[in-house]
Structure 1
């Protein structure tokens, strides 16, 4: 057992391992939080007495269901659907749906557990949840995706509601999928309950900035980290992984703040564009044509290098700032060491838990400013909550107003993490600050609400 885990928390973690066998990502997410909580438990013995941590690590509800659907040739397929409603302590369950072949219960539980603290940090009244399916939307027609979404929602709808559980999108679930899911929910319930899903289209209850929010928020948090060190993003060389929604809008906001973004990637490989990523071309390839980053490289010009991911890592590209925005555990200890050798000064997680524990340790020992996903990528769920607020008041805000609110929230999250870390004798440790601040808010509410 690592020395980083307080002796009072070691038996709790061992029991979690026993009760949740094989759920490696969930174990990793829980341990990462527990490693920060020793001083909190010592300061507040009532937390141990009320078994707050034990309760918080056990989801309030776990749903697993069959999703049968037919493809365009009439062949029947059967996928598995998940929704882990982890904590409603601070508000209705809130968290995205992920459609990807890698989805299993352990991954959904890790995402839902992270979501509790992420949502807490926003300061908005939302609980934590996550869901999805092992369905792969890649290569499927719109009609096939519609039939899958309708079958998925036919089972899930009974557990949802604007005051109960409000899903959003995640990997593999964009505005198209949200539209099909919402349509089926409306059809089954006979209610236009626009607040039951977020990430909707602007013409039917969606919020400005929602598509951009996770990427924008990650860069806003990065800018605050650098500001705290007396620096800024202006002129900084930035490496971004991923080429989905989060990565694209992280690139956009970084460029707006004067940074020079030189990379993006997908599961096959990555591009290095020394002239700076051509955002409009990337959007055309990824959002319109649903192509690969290799297609971007071919059309961008001979100065662009495309490197197969089997031969090297995007994190070998020298940069001042790294924004891992693809998927969990993509940035290893070896990758972190390469970034440190090449002079990286700040790393902010656009994806959920993209850095391995060894990678985080390398950054910490090197004095690199490191922002965990539960803080840095909270802009997406924060703007989802703003969408819920607009739906509840039958209102619609401008892009500028919504972006200002997002910036305020990300600044609040940064300052909360920074001040909490300082209060517990861990100055500049955003991991500890995020874990402790998020936990304290949830624990306080759980103590107030009794044994539930």
Structure 2
């Protein structure tokens, strides 16, 4: 069982409600450490809300939010190109539908288990609420690893996965998207199987589709772009901007690439990125065209970037990315990648803003280091909400049989990210924690969900 300490709040009402609830969550969800961490991070901030709103305590809203409405686990058998049979495990956690149909990505990665899917789904509830769009929270995936598999093998896996999952989906029920290991190729195979089984061209049942068959312009870029736009708003509230800033981005997948692109568009110099093999440092700034060619077209490694870039770049095997001095850090890889030691190093090297492009990439201890040092810190549920917001815009276009331009979609994305920033900023001030975007994001998202749950009765 996890030994994660109980959360503490300064408010007696919050402590009285939250501490026993958290103990019960630990008891009922044994071994799900990522889920425990995500729940703790939200519960720690809710004391002032519960003291001010006793009706939420009476209706046991917090307990109900922490318990998924439905948890699906299923077998996914498939055959490889040599005829060998494999069996993976599939998941879909439909967490909360008070604001709309369940919405959240599918992750295909060997690390996927129920605890990780629940942590992602729990975060998704509040992230989706913050967008202002009518979408609930959910998440799913499988411990299947697409790395090194042929297109035919990935197709057979996706078809098997969707054969089971399709009965739980629908544009008004549950709308998955992509996540780690699930890009345009996988979404295409999943959508094709859904269409084949249901005999319906239900465009709104999956997002992240190709632009030519129901997808949205700017969806590929949205999470990374949104993270940087939020960072820019956060700096603007302090009388600063991104122009001329030195930036370090972790990861080199979709989110990292487009965070790099938007940061460069706003005048910053992104000097580093990474993958599981190590990281590169390019003092002249990451050559985005080369990085896209290697990672998006060739599915290569960042070590190849350094080799092809020549003397301008160097590759460092293993970890240590956060030792690279920067003014802005954008962790865009995976959960718990940025530790307290990393945070201390970043602060010592002069970091001024940190925004989570990935889901929960900074450990709780790292977040405390940033906050105590006065670093502007944006949690993932706010900073990376641009992806799911644009997915909701894709659903809107599908429902109206319409297609928007890239410029129009990006404009809407920028409006949404400004709204999320202002909501988090103003809520933090309203509850006596000015500048604390963790408090602001958690409470703003929770209040929206809680109001809907109260209105809809005991369900």
The question of a shared fold, defined as TM-score above 0.5 by the shorter chain, is answered with yes
1:210 equivalent to 2:258? Answer: no
Render the CA deviation track for 1:302-322: whole Å, top value 9, x for unaligned: 23111112xx41100000000
Structure 1 residue 3 displacement after superposition: 6.3
Unmatched tracts of structure 2, length 5 or more: none
Distance 2:72 2:426 in 1: 37
Distance 1:100 1:196 in 2: 22
Report the counterpart of residue 306 of structure 1 in structure 2. Answer: 315
SS at match of 1:302: helix
For residue 150 of structure 2, the aligned residue among 137, 141, 151 is: 141
Report the counterpart of residue 352 of structure 2 in structure 1. Answer: 345
Q: Give runs of aligned pairs for residues 2-13 of structure 1, distance below 5 A.
A: 2=6, 4-5=8-9, 6-8=14-16, 9-13=18-22
Q: Give runs of aligned pairs for residues 285-434 of structure 1, distance below 5 A.
A: 285-309=294-318, 312-434=319-441
Alignment CA distance shift 1:2-1:105 (3 Å): closer
Unmatched tracts of structure 1, length 5 or more: none
Report the counterpart of residue 153 of structure 1 in structure 2. Answer: 162
1:112 equivalent to 2:116? Answer: no
1:98 equivalent to 2:102? Answer: no
Render the CA deviation track for 1:115-146: whole Å, top value 9, x for unaligned: 00000000000000000000000000000000
Report the counterpart of residue 88 of structure 1 in structure 2. Answer: 97
Distance 1:26 1:254 in 2: 31
Contact 2:7–2:40 (CA<8 Å) still a contact in 1?
no
Report the counterpart of residue 442 of structure 1 in structure 2. Answer: 449
Distance 2:223 2:312 in 1: 30
Render the CA deviation track for 1:28-49: whole Å, top value 9, x for unaligned: 0000000000000000001110
Distance 2:237 2:66 in 1: 33
Distance 2:187 2:115 in 1: 24
SS at match of 2:377: strand
Distance 2:7 2:458 in 1: 31
Alignment CA distance shift 1:448-1:377 (3 Å): same
For residue 180 of structure 2, the aligned residue among 171, 181, 187 is: 171
Distance 1:19 1:446 in 2: 23
Contact 2:6–2:40 (CA<8 Å) still a contact in 1?
no
Distance 2:109 2:68 in 1: 22
Contact 2:6–2:23 (CA<8 Å) still a contact in 1?
no
Distance 1:119 1:449 in 2: 18
SS at match of 2:248: strand
Distance 1:3 1:210 in 2: 36
The ranges of structure 1 where at least 4 consecutive aligned residues each deviate by more than 3 angstroms after the TM superposition are: none
Distance 1:151 1:81 in 2: 10
Render the CA deviation track for 1:385-442: whole Å, top value 9, x for unaligned: 0000000000000000000000000000000000000000000000000000000000
SS at match of 2:401: coil
SS at match of 1:4: coil
For residue 239 of structure 1, the aligned residue among 228, 244, 248 is: 248
Distance 1:328 1:7 in 2: 27
Counting matched residue pairs gives 450
Contact 2:377–2:437 (CA<8 Å) still a contact in 1?
yes
Report the counterpart of residue 198 of structure 2 in structure 1. Answer: 189
1:263 equivalent to 2:272? Answer: yes
Render the CA deviation track for 1:279-301: whole Å, top value 9, x for unaligned: 00000000000000001111011
1:199 equivalent to 2:208? Answer: yes
Contact 2:279–2:315 (CA<8 Å) still a contact in 1?
yes
Distance 1:268 1:18 in 2: 37
Distance 1:206 1:40 in 2: 39
Distance 1:3 1:145 in 2: 42
Contact 2:8–2:15 (CA<8 Å) still a contact in 1?
no
Distance 1:136 1:3 in 2: 35
Render the CA deviation track for 1:152-177: whole Å, top value 9, x for unaligned: 00000000000000000000000000
SS at match of 1:301: helix
Render the CA deviation track for 1:57-100: whole Å, top value 9, x for unaligned: 00000000000000000000000000000000000000000000
Distance 1:242 1:166 in 2: 26
Distance 2:284 2:233 in 1: 26
Structure 1 residue 2 displacement after superposition: 5.0
